[in-house]
Structure 1
């Protein structure tokens, strides 16, 4: 199913200027297109539209040890609540923690790569509010965290 994710502002990469009235078209676990909302809505009229408050952008890369928590699953969930969609392999020496990361579909990277929204890339997105709070995290096209 095609889904258009849009917010008041869209940032293609972490350092880029946010632009208004843009969207990300997602099919399965991939980004199909990134562009003006009006153009994508017209070209993909049957797509489901998800409108989010805040700024939509690529999911974040966590480049340190995972936060402490009682269980590996809770450590992963702590990342998802902040918009993280990728972690560095060097911080996953514990097999139980690595298994929890893999079950959640977080991207495990051998080296740090700046996240960006690109056509045909993996659909890892995050929406952050004005205060920096993560409102939504999408990993491989699936909503895995939504702030109530």
Structure 2
């Protein structure tokens, strides 16, 4: 079955932007990228998911290990005691961490990544429960960056990595590639990449991982 992900603006990265564009997805892979009307005509039986804003490839974070193996993501039930932000340094050292807690923390951290449009993260991972959580999440694991990426964080777009969107994504939207997509609630007019950086990855409204909708803002 073909699913068409339609957006006000599609940024394939390796090709020109597409106003009222779409990405055709079949069996977890990108089947085609182009104007919505053309893809809809080519696939009249396709299911359509219409998104407002800007659709891009999924993001790639170089902070996989710091965020999952050197930080604790509190359970919502711990918010009153520990807050809601990841704990590192002395605050992490003060916790009684075991494999069960590391695994649960990693799962929450991965969900937060997905909610920010991330579909790939750097490894490798030394802790067995973290490796298991990452493997089950379906996120792609990529080699660590050659240089220090700076302070760990989820907001890859606002950080303005590199000189453009190409530096922040896992790969371009192209036929045959894994269907990893992110949609952001930003105005598609003007300079969309600048708008993405201003709004940040916190503006993610949907994340598609290997063709599966894994995050949708309610």
> When the two structures are superposed, what TM-score results if normalisation uses the length of structure 1?
0.90
Q: Which moved more, 1:24-33 or 1:110-119?
A: 110-119
Alpha-carbon separation, structure 2, partners of 1:43 and 1:18: 20
1:66 partnered with 2:67: yes
Name the structure 1 match of 2:181: 125
Structure with the higher fraction of residues in strand conformation = 1
Name the structure 1 match of 2:112: 78
Q: Which moved more, 1:67-76 or 1:121-130?
A: 67-76
1:94 partnered with 2:146: no
Name the structure 2 match of 1:140: 210
Alpha-carbon separation, structure 1, partners of 2:53 and 2:144: 29
Does structure 2 retain, via aligned residues, the 8 Å contact 1:66–1:76? no
Alpha-carbon separation, structure 2, partners of 1:82 and 1:137: 8
Deviation at 1:89, TM superposition (A): 1.6
4+ residue runs over 4 A deviation? 111-114
Does structure 1 retain, via aligned residues, the 8 Å contact 2:18–2:34? no
Please list the CA deviations of residues 107-137 of structure 1 after superposition, one character each: whole Å capped at 9, or x if unmatched: 1112567421110100000001113310000
Structure 1 residue runs of 5 or longer lacking an equivalent are none
Give the direction of change, closer, same or farther, for the CA distance of 1:36–1:111 in structure 2 (3 Å limit): farther
Name the structure 2 match of 1:30: 29
Alpha-carbon separation, structure 2, partners of 1:9 and 1:54: 7
Name the structure 2 match of 1:3: 3
State which structure, 1 or 2, has the greater radius of gyration over its C-alpha atoms: 2
SS in 2 for 1:21: strand
Please list the CA deviations of residues 28-61 of structure 1 after superposition, one character each: whole Å capped at 9, or x if unmatched: 2100001111111000000001000110010000
1:51 partnered with 2:50: yes
Name the structure 2 match of 1:20: 19
Name the structure 1 match of 2:140: 107
Q: Tell me the matched-pair count.
A: 146
Does structure 2 retain, via aligned residues, the 8 Å contact 1:10–1:55? yes
Name the structure 1 match of 2:191: none
